[in-house]
Amino acid sequence: MARLAKLKISMMISIFLVALIFALFLAAIIYFLNLPLIFAVIGALIFILIEYLIGPEIVKASMRLRYVKPGEQPWLESTVKELAQKSGVPVPKIAIVPDETPNAFVFGRTSRDATLAVHEGLLLKLNKYEVRGVLGHELGHIKHKDYLVMTMLSAVPLLAYLVARLSFEAVRFAPKSEKKGKGAAAIYAALIAVAVIGYIVYIVSLLCVMRTSRLREHYADAYSAYLTQNPRGLASALAKISYGLSLSPKPPHGARTLYISDPALAKQECQTIIRKKDEYDLDRDGVLDEKELELAMEREAKSTWTRINTWFSTHPPTFQRILLLREIEKEMESGRFTAKNIYAHI
């Protein structure tokens, strides 16, 4: 599992970069607003702690999820238990989300209180092999402790955005009479500077967080392939999930970074393939068969536009994820895929 060290190193680098950016941001606030250092540091730590403590409760309330009672979903419960024991993580609590779109996610403060939430649409629209692949993916997030890292990292761009927005609004809605005088002008100039720096920090730190988020999805995909020994199950699930999400009229949920697939990205991907259907329909029969779809996925995965657009996504393009799983499947068929090289293709 040498490549697992790459994930840990990448996460450490991301944490370091975000922490450095955040430290510079605090220094700028202290400088422009002439605040005591201790106030800024304590305020930031309290904000991160609050997000860590109440984050899971916000997810529960916003998703309207319902926890599964023992014996209510026998196949789902036994499968989660089997895969959790095989992966060496505590068996997570299982919840059902009353949503017809196919999706799933995990959240929690620690691996011992983690919740694995499954949308009703996932159980209805996917077969058992595909659902099993999705469950393996979500358990991969628990195995890699992604929920903890992403909670901590996501707090920084959110805090930077809030500070920038509040500073901007303070200047915008302040009475004109209060902006007169050298002292008042200096204060408002400082607030504008903080707002500008805040927006810059928000964008830069968010790009760092998104890169880490995309990488963790690839690692969870590879782990699912190893855990279930059936990468085709997850590949098929990802295709169905993306297609199902692309048809949903609902706007993307605010917590979509938790999902196995981002609804906004799914809509964009399917629209791209449909728009280029004539280009990829090589036999001109009006339907994209498996080989034509595979060719389309390979081309889209290598396109410059896809790579640039990926910088601003929390999830890798679905066709890149499917291609990774197909590489793993070929290695499994050759007998070379072992526990030591789970992440070799990432």
Residue 265 one-letter amino acid: L
138 in active site: yes
Q: What's the Cα-to-Cα distance from 13 to each of 18, 227, 249, rounded to whole Å? A: 8, 27, 38
Question: Is the whole model's pTM more than 0.85, yes or no?
Answer: no
pLDDT tens, position by position, for the chain (346 residues)? 445 566 567 667 777 777 777 777 777 777 776 767 677 677 777 777 777 777 778 778 888 899 999 999 999 999 999 999 999 999 999 999 998 889 999 988 888 889 999 999 999 999 999 999 999 999 999 998 887 777 777 777 877 888 888 888 877 776 655 555 556 677 777 788 888 888 888 888 888 888 888 888 999 999 999 999 999 999 999 988 887 777 766 655 556 677 888 777 777 777 777 777 777 777 887 766 656 766 776 677 667 666 676 777 888 888 889 888 988 998 888 877 777 778 877 7
CA distance 186 to 194: 12
The DSSP letter of residue 132 is H
Backbone φ and ψ of 154, nearest 5°: -65, -20
Q: Is 267 helix (H, G, I), strand (E, B) or coil?
A: helix
Q: What's the Cα-to-Cα distance from 196 to each of 43, 161, 193, rounded to whole Å? A: 20, 10, 5
CA distance from start to end of the chain: 12
Q: Which of 51, 100, 120, 138 is catalytic?
A: 138
Specify the pLDDT at position 58.
Answer: 77
- Extract the tokens encoding 82: 């089997």
CA distance 77 to 92: 10
CA distance 280 to 107: 39
